[in-house]
Every structure is written in C-alpha cells, then in structure tokens.
Amino acid sequence: TDTPLISSPEHSVEGFVREFLRELNFTQGTVLERASTNDTYLALARTVRHYLMARWMETTTAHYRRQPKAVAYLSAEFLLGRQLDNALLAADLEEIAAEALASLGLDLDVLRQAEVEPGLGNGGLGRLAACFIDSLATMSVPAIGYGIRYEYGIFRQTFVDGRQFEEPDHWLDNGSPWEFAHPEHEVTVSFGGHTEKYTEGEGEDAVERSRWVPGWQVLGVPYNYMVPGYRNGRVNTLRLWSARATHAFDLKIFNYGDYAEAVRAQTFAENITKVLYPEDSTPQGKELRLQQQYFFVACSLRDFIDQLLPEGFDLHRLHERICFQLNDTHPVIAVPELMRILVDDHGFAWDEAWEVTRRCFAYTCHTLLPEALEVWPVELLGRLLPRHLEIIYRINDEFLDEVRETFGDDELLVRRMSIIAEHPFRAVRMAHLATVAATKVNGVAELHSQLLRDKVLADFANLWPDKFTNVTNGVTPRRFVRLANPGLSALVTEAIGDGWVTDLDRLRELEPFADDPEFRRRFREVKSANKQRLVELLERRDGITVPTDTMLDVMVKRLHEYKRQTLKILHVISLYDRIVSGELDVDQVVPRTIVFGAKAAPGYVMAKEIIALINHVGTVVNAHPVASRVLHVAFPANYDVTVAETLVPAADLSEQISLAGKEASGTGNMKFALNGALTIGTDDGANVEIRQLVGDDHFFLFGLTEPEAAAIAETGYRPSAYYEENPTLRRALDLVAKGEFSGGDRSVFEPVVSNLLGEDRFMVLADFQSYLDAQDRVEAYYRDPEAWSRSAVLNVARSGFFSSDRSMRDYLDRIWHAEPLGD
C-alpha cells in the first residue's frame, strides 16, 4: 500500500506566491504589510521546505521499505552553513522565488541575509561532515547523519582593542524553520551507577554476566533536518539530538516538595547539549564532553536499531545493513555501546557480539598531532559509564592476547599498543579503541594516511596492514562553487554545459579555455566582480574599508600554531619594514590586500596573542601613509561559513602554509583552487595532491618537506640560528620586539617573540626565507595578468578531483561497500 502523500506546491511563480502567503498568514500569523524581515524569512524558509517535503517522505519510505545497506555518519559536529540558498538550489527554485518575492515587493537577497547560520562545528572536521551528507544525498546513497543539536554553536568572535572576545551564539532565537522536533521518538540514555555480576541459567549452562545499574538518566529528543540532493528527487536526513530531563526524574523530586531542586535537575540534564566545545585539537578531559559524546551515540544506535530496522530484525546481520562511520574519535564510545546492546540487551555471547561489532564500524582520523588524540581518564569513564569501561577492558585483554600471539612477548610493544595508557594517569586511548574495532581506518589525504601508517599508528599497521586506507577529503561543489560563485558558474556552464555540478571531473573540459584570451578576460572580470562583492561585504558587515582590484591574499582557518599564521604576519611585517625603510620602492610593489579570518580556542593563550598581533600589525600598516599605498590588512571578526562563501571566490592567493606533516588535509585549500585562486603552500596535507594535479607551474611551493622537518626535529632545532643568520628575519622580529605594533610597549608581544626564538615548535623561522622567496615569485607572476589568469583557470580545470562526491565514491568502494539506491 502506498503512503498517501500530499503533492508538492506548484513549481511556478504563482504557485510560490500562493504558498508563501499561506505560510505568512497561517503559520507566521501576520500580513505582508506588517511582517518583519524575520517573519518574511521564516515564511519563505517554510515555503521552500514544502517543495522538498514530499521528496523527503518518499526517500525515507524507500529506505525503510527496501532496506538497502546504509551509511550512518556519526559526527559530534556538522558545520552546515545557511540552509535557504542550498534548499532553493536543490529544489531548482532560485529564479521562481526571486520573481515571486519581487512581485510582492520583497528582495530575496535581503531575506537570505536574515538567516543565522547553524554553526554546529569548529572548522574543517565539522564542515567536512556537512559536505559529505550533501554529496551522499546528491548521489542517492541511503545515508543518515547523526549528531548533536547544540543550543549554542561556535562562539561569536568580537575584537576589543584587537583582542578576541567570545559571545554566545544564540542561533535559535529567531526561530528554526529548518528543523522538525520529534519528542514522541525520545530515547532514554543512562549514565553513572554501577555494574553487578549475576549468573544466568543453572548448573552446566550457567553463565556469568554483568549488568549495568545506572545512576541517572536523560532523554534524547531527535530533531530532523532535510539534506536535499541536488535536483535528484532525494532528500536524506540529518538527525540531531537534544537533551531533556526525564519526566520520572523531576516527578520524584516534586514528590519531596522541592520545586527548585526539580528545576535544577532539569537544567542539569539539558546542559548536555547546551554548547559546542570551542576547542579543536587540544582535548581537555572534560566530563561534559564525554557526556555529550555518549549521549548522541547512545541515542543514534538506539534510533537506528529500533526505528530504522524492521521489527524483529536479526542483529547478527547488522553489518549487512549499516556502516557507522566514526568522524574522528569523538563518537568512538559507540563501540562499547554496541557491544553492551548486543551482549546485555540481546543476550549475545561475547564473541558473537564482537564479530558483528567489528564489522559495523569504520574510523576516520583527522590529525597527526599527538596532543590532539583523545584520551579519557579511567576514573572519569568508570564513574560515568561503568559498564562500558568493563567492556573496554575486555576488548583490550583480548586484543593484547592477539598482539602477544603475533609478535611474542614484547612488553614494550604491548604497552605502546594497549587501549589503556598507564602514564601520566590511567586512561582510555580512544584512537586505539577505534583502530582495534574498525573494519577500516582512513586518513584524509595521501600524505596523512601514509604518516598514520608509518608513524602515528605504525604498530597497528604492522598487525593489520589491510585495515589502513586513504580517502582524500573533498568539498561540495554545490555550495562552494555553484552557490558561492555564480559568476564563475555561469562562465563555466556557458563553456562546457552544467554537468560539472554533479560530475566535477568534467571541469577538465575547461583546460583548452585557459589558452583563450577572451575566456581569460571574462574570468578576470568575474574575479574582479567577486572582489567588489567582498569589499561591499566587509564595509557593510565590519565597517572595514579595503581597496578594490588589488591582489587578494587570503588566510582563513582556525588559529593554530601549526597552521602558522605567524609566518604570514611576519611576511607582512617584513614587507612593511622594507617599504618604510626605503629598501623596497613602494611604486614597484604589487598592491595587496591581505585578509585573515580565524577563531582561537578561548583557552588557547598563544593563539589569542597571535590574533592580537595580526590586528595590531594591521592597524599600523593600514595607517602608514606610504605602506598603505600598497598594503592593506583586513581581519573581519567571526569568520564563518557565510563569510567564506563571499571570500573564497574573490581570492587570488590561497595561503596553505602549515609545517609539513602537521595539517592532515585542509579543505579550504580545495575551495580556493576550485574558485581559481593560486596556492602558496607547503608540501603538506592535500596541498601535495593539489600541486600534483594543477602542476608545479601553477602552484607556489616552499618550505621544508616532512622528512626534512622530522630530521631537524631529531637532531635538535635551533630557531635562534635562523634569527642570527638572516637580517631580514631579524629586522622583522626586532620590530615586534621593540614595540612597533604595541605603541612602544615591548612587553605586549614578548611571549610571541620569545616563543619563536626559544622553541618555535612549528619551525616558522626555518621556513621564513623560503616563504619570502615564494612570495617574490607570486609577486612577479601577478604582474603578468595573462599568465596569472591562465594558471587560475587551470587550477579550476584540474581540481575536480576535490569534489566531496569523489570522496563519497571512495568511501563507498573502499570502506562502506554500499551503493546508491536506484529508482
């Protein structure tokens, strides 16, 4: 029997107007002449939603009925960006909506800007998850994203006197038209308490079992979001969980007559999904973070097993229906949770449960920094999840037996590989747990995967060579080319047709156009219009005035020492110094606008100092009568996905300058190349693959290679040697040290300077000269607009590989062994 579905609103201007007014009047409860911008935006969002609704229900029903093998992407972060544009694009409603609104005297562009983006992620890892679910939907793959509905996403960054301050991101305040709450599908999640041993059966058949007697519980309420495929009639689901107090919990306390205490309990439970932790890569062993992780994972497994599988499904075959992809270690507690479900709730024997569990998970690692690998103190994990700790111990015992069997009694090796670390305190190494349990472990770029095999997880790669694989990251061309760069999209489509939007390799067909002067002229025209858009955005959003039509040199990413924003600012300082001292003739310098965008983790003191340094350098440079003729520094606060969408298409030069061997992949680098920026970069992460694809002549390479950096680190790195030997470097650093950018106060940036001279963990000083030389090559090349734009077009033509559609194909083939669902 077919589920009766109401038909979609009519795909026409009149149909759209009717639906929109109905929303405005009946749902928003207002009339056009009195509607606020927010009223209109909400009505518009719901109108667009209605066009996708039937497709969503059909997709869900098809998955349920046909039970294909599916993918569940488990991620603590989904950095979605604004929804309206993407939904309009997917539903092919951009023109209809613009016309319909115009006929009512409304401006679609104004309404677009009313949307507050859901910032439910920190940076690369969260944005990657958003790109992946977009690609899965567009490729008709049966997939669901599972994550956390943070009430407050990534903080809003402001600058006071050049220093970062953080404000809460109340993104839900004006209503949330894109989500569907389903309190009737709430799930109970347990925490704390203790475990008990008991005997099941009698005599010969008696088995010792353990059961969890939890101490407290919370409810998880699912919120569904549409994940529309690009014009393919599919809409997948992203399911984010929100914590609520259990009714029983408050009731008990109410019975004691303590109203205030009951309300406190409520707050306590709801704290779990209150806020996104703004740290990336330096995990603090925070109890609330572990609660978040277990909370969303427990909800998601329950949901998949109880709601998405047919009733009575034999869980021995679970791996035939699902692969749970673990986005870094954040959801790895899902491994013992599935074991607990199978053994404790479904009566599986241990070995039987392990057989299934091992086949249900795959793990993606996103880092190379040892301090970024999550560990949970045993004391904490045992207190919060006592049964899970027991299960982890048993997994570890059996795993270490296997290690001893394979390698003999090498106790050093056993200690290195153990899931449990003993020093400096007993702790669970989540990356080891993930690696032991997963069918496949992947890195996110070729170099990164190689370093995982050779260094970070070398012992594991020895034991299980076939477990390790690579899937190079990608980005969605829908959001980051088609939507963000309408000018380039139109130009490309005119040249090669519009198939590239879902088949990005077709950009190759642009290669001959790189040699067509007329095409290059139009490409430059698009770039310059994009710069104009950016200039207007900076003016409107930040009150920042920058010149138009200078070389736009952009470094946007989280602030981290390994990414080396300091190297970039030292370049700016050095240019400033050489211009002001007359060493460089200002009339010979190519005018540049340098744009930074970066948030620092609120507790990362050095990162915040670097932000202050950039801002202070910017103030001095921009105010200098001579330097400001050719140099401009802009650092708009609160860089986010929305800003990226205007910034990336405008860029000429993309800064990807991490110390080789530290950036797992990078994905900003891909967005820039696809929008026709040239990269200045180290031989790191996905830069390696970008350079291979676009060709050395169209990429500015500099710096140490990973083996060189490793060798220097081995023999002892002395940053001060570079300072002593290089007068250009010395002058730049001395300027900072003597207070040029801090009103003469030498103490302000002393910590930054002394860190560079004393430790410089990421070898900024070692790469300084090489970077400056590469910047000289950039400058010389930019003087030749024909050569530059030819290279830029070739960057576009040769970067199709970096579509997240290709990443998804690789995951499907190498890891998930699942397929798109045909009609």
279 is a site residue for ligand 26Y (CB under 6 A): yes
366 is a site residue for ligand 26Y (CB under 6 A): yes
550 is a site residue for ligand 26Y (CB under 6 A): no
- Contact pick of 374, 561, 689, 805 for ligand 26Y (by CB under 6 A): 374
Smallest distance, ligand 26Y to C-beta of residue 319, A = 25
The residue written with tokens 């049964």 in the block is: 387
Q: Mask of contacts with ligand 26Y, 81-110, x by CB under 6 A? A: ------------------------------
Q: CA-CA distance, 696 to 690, in Å (whole number)?
A: 10
Q: Which is nearer to ligand 26Y, 123 or 676 (CB)?
A: 123
636 is a site residue for ligand 26Y (CB under 6 A): no
- Contact pick of 222, 474, 618, 666 for ligand 26Y (by CB under 6 A): 666
Smallest distance, ligand 26Y to C-beta of residue 685, A = 6
The residue written with tokens 């990251």 in the block is: 473
Q: CA-CA distance, 118 to 149, in Å (whole number)?
A: 10
Smallest distance, ligand 26Y to C-beta of residue 361, A = 18
Question: What ranges in 591-686 are assigned the alpha helix state H?
Answer: 605-623, 641-647, 668-674
Q: Is the peptide bond before 424 cis (omega within 30 degrees of 0)?
A: yes
Say how many Å lie between the first and final Cα of the chain, rounded. 18
The residue written with tokens 């040029």 in the block is: 740
- Contact pick of 118, 119, 124, 661 for ligand 26Y (by CB under 6 A): 124
Q: Count CA atoms within 13 Å of residue 553 on its CB side.
A: 23
- Contact pick of 396, 473, 642, 807 for ligand 26Y (by CB under 6 A): 473
For residue 227, CA distances in Å to 56, 140, 178, 816 come to 9, 11, 10, 20
DSSP 704-741: --HHHHHHHHHH---HHHHHHH-HHHHHHHHHHHTTTT
- Contact pick of 269, 660, 664, 732 for ligand 26Y (by CB under 6 A): 664
Q: CA-CA distance, 484 to 530, in Å (whole number)?
A: 10
DSSP 256-312: TT-HHHHHHHHHHHHGGGTB-----S-----HHHHHHHHHHHHHHHHHIIIIISPTT
Report angle CA 575, 577, 580 to the nearest 5 degrees. 105
Q: CA-CA distance, 379 to 389, in Å (whole number)?
A: 10
Q: Which is nearer to ligand 26Y, 372 or 534 (CB)?
A: 372
For residue 347, CA distances in Å to 209, 386, 634 come to 10, 19, 61
153 is a site residue for ligand 26Y (CB under 6 A): no
Question: What ranges in 419-561 are assigned the alpha helix state H?
Answer: 430-437, 446-451, 458-463, 477, 486-496, 517-537
Spacing of C-alpha 614 from chain mean position: 24
- Contact pick of 117, 652, 663, 706 for ligand 26Y (by CB under 6 A): 663
Tell me which residues in 328-347 interact with ligand 26Y (CB under 6 A). Answer: 330
Q: Which is nearer to ligand 26Y, 229 or 666 (CB)?
A: 666
Q: Segment contacting ligand 26Y (CB under 6 A): 279-287, 417-425, 477-485, 806-814?
A: 279-287
Q: Which is nearer to ligand 26Y, 305 or 372 (CB)?
A: 372
186 is a site residue for ligand 26Y (CB under 6 A): no
- Contact pick of 119, 649, 661, 685 for ligand 26Y (by CB under 6 A): 685
Using an 8 Å Cβ cutoff, are 590 and 779 in contact?
yes
Which residues are known catalytic residues? 366, 557-558, 563, 667, 671
AA identity, residue 594: I
Smallest distance, ligand 26Y to C-beta of residue 345, A = 28
- What the block records as the tokens of 15 is 């149909």
Q: Which is nearer to ligand 26Y, 135 or 550 (CB)?
A: 135
281 is a site residue for ligand 26Y (CB under 6 A): yes
With CB under 6 A as the rule, give the number of residues binding ligand 26Y.
21
Smallest distance, ligand 26Y to C-beta of residue 57, A = 32
Smallest distance, ligand 26Y to C-beta of residue 128, A = 4
Q: Segment contacting ligand 26Y (CB under 6 A): 184-192, 609-617, 664-672, 765-773?
A: 664-672
Spacing of C-alpha 676 from chain mean position: 22
DSSP 152-186: B-SPEEEEETTEEEEE---TTTT--TTEEE-GGG-
Q: Where are the beta strands (DSSP E) in 2-91?
A: 70-74, 78-79
280 is a site residue for ligand 26Y (CB under 6 A): yes
DSSP 128-152: HHHHHHHHHHHTT--EEEEEE--SB
Using an 8 Å Cβ cutoff, are 39 and 104 in contact?
no
Q: Which is nearer to ligand 26Y, 293 or 615 (CB)?
A: 293
- Contact pick of 84, 143, 444, 607 for ligand 26Y (by CB under 6 A): 444
Q: Which is nearer to ligand 26Y, 124 or 336 (CB)?
A: 124
Q: Which is nearer to ligand 26Y, 47 or 667 (CB)?
A: 667
Smallest distance, ligand 26Y to C-beta of residue 445, A = 7
807 is a site residue for ligand 26Y (CB under 6 A): no
283 is a site residue for ligand 26Y (CB under 6 A): yes
Question: Parallel, antiparallel, or unpaired: how do β-strands 592-597 and 653-656 relate?
Answer: unpaired
Residue nearest to ligand 26Y (CB): 124
Q: Which is nearer to ligand 26Y, 442 or 574 (CB)?
A: 442
Q: Which is nearer to ligand 26Y, 238 or 372 (CB)?
A: 372
Orientation angle between helical segments 764-782 and 785-797, nearest 10 degrees: 110
Q: Which is nearer to ligand 26Y, 50 or 560 (CB)?
A: 560
- Contact pick of 435, 472, 667, 679 for ligand 26Y (by CB under 6 A): 667
362 is a site residue for ligand 26Y (CB under 6 A): no
Smallest distance, ligand 26Y to C-beta of residue 78, A = 12
- Contact pick of 75, 86, 122, 804 for ligand 26Y (by CB under 6 A): 122
- What the block records as the tokens of 31 is 């009339």
Tell me which residues in 698-727 interact with ligand 26Y (CB under 6 A). Answer: none
- What the block records as the tokens of 574 is 């050095």
Q: CA-CA distance, 749 to 559, in Å (whole number)?
A: 17
Smallest distance, ligand 26Y to C-beta of residue 556, A = 13
Contacts with ligand 26Y by CB under 6 A lie at: 122-125, 128, 279-281, 283, 330, 366, 372, 374, 444, 473, 663-667, 685
